[in-house]
Structure 1
């Protein structure tokens, strides 16, 4: 079984001779919302309450913020505008030939990252017949544990997905090994949304906007190791 996310990508290419090229990108980090100079004092108070709720529940920050907002009477236009912020893959996209992947291109690019960078793989792949297809991907939010190792596998089984489960650092990633069209990817993401917040709701929203998924395959930023494969489904 492959060990790291980069190893897994090589394994997927071996299983899918139809794939002729991959797409990687370097996600552009957004500054912490607390550093936005235009925030009002009321909005900063909402952020503080949201962070406190997140520490109590381990739910994603934006889910906590909207729970706080739903019970609050304060105006928060800056926060609501920020909730729509989306970083497109295309702003930092590279095409990698199949042969270059087998030659170690992903590992080489991961080693050359700057400290603030991470390397991510797009679900969108190029095929030998010129078509573009997708590898199913999911980003989960529940904390990694023995119990959640089992729970994540049960959820993926319920979704009818086949592929690999990875520890992403504090949580989990999933990579499917079969190719699907964009419409099928959208349907898969919609079904996965029913399992929020165990599956990351905001992540799904951004993938739907993009019409493609993306997951980190390197270490970097606050991650000391790349995602590691733990199981198959």
Structure 2
């Protein structure tokens, strides 16, 4: 079974222009409900949004923004938290092409602090000096036989070739061909049309970052590596 680490090596091998890849350690934000600045009304909104998420499988921020829109309560702290963004650049590391091996990546994963994950940035350094990206998507639908087909159909509708992975709770997509930054922005913008099956908040953060990122290691609540199940 091909893991995300195997796929990273495969993508580098197939793209001769790639001179180096970038890896980072996503920063974990504390749970919203632990924020001391929340009002009592906001704490009620958070609790109800968590219940709504559990019953609908919709993303948390979709649930809470929907509740805010239909209730006569102020939620300034929640609205401020909604734009919280953790930058890749805080932990970004370059890995030269010759070091991109499964063994090298496993060694990095094994060295991670407890609770930390390793992620692949879409940014790649190319030998011709042009900035390029590996297209990526993060889905927000539970793994199932039906959704295996659904995410494949969405990738086909977006007219992009690549690989689909079971991420542990949902799905990831990695494109087979590199894109310019402008092409990546266009691709992510089109992908918004398939929200909430594709994670809207994830796309927003990638657009802010001007780059994508996906977890390629176990960690946090994930006990295994993302595993590839289809090529489209």
- TM-score, normalised relative to structure 2: 0.98
Q: 2:191 matched to 1:192?
A: yes
Matches within 5 A, 1:114-129: 114-129=113-128
Q: How does 1:58-207 map to 2 (within 5 A)?
A: 58-102=57-101, 104-207=103-206
1:232 corresponds in structure 2 to: 231
| Residue 227 of structure 2 corresponds to residue 216 of structure 1 | no
Residue pair 2:132, 2:180 contacting (<8 A) in 1 also: yes
Unaligned ranges ≥5, structure 2: none
Q: How far apart are 1:129 and its partner, in Å? A: 1.2
Alpha-carbon distance in structure 1 between the residues aligned to 2:218 and 2:58: 23
Kept in 1, the 8 Å contact 2:9–2:102? The answer is: no
Residue 103 (structure 1) shift: 6.8
Q: C-alpha displacement at 1:227, in angstroms? A: 0.4
TM-score when scaled to structure 1? 0.98
Q: In structure 2, how many angstroms separate the alpha carbons of the residues matched to 1:102 and 1:203?
A: 28
For residues 58-94 of structure 1, the C-alpha deviation after alignment (integer angstroms, 9 at most, x for no partner) is 0000000011011011111100000000000000000
Deviation at 1:102, TM superposition (A): 2.8
Per the alignment, do residues 118 and 103 of structure 1 end up closer, same or farther by CA in structure 2, a change over 3 Å counting? closer
Moved over 6 A (4+): none
* CA RMSD in angstroms, aligned pairs only: 0.9
Hey, what's the Cα distance between the residues in 1 that align with 2:51 and 2:80? 22
Preserved contact between residue 217 and residue 224 of structure 2 (Cα < 8 Å): yes
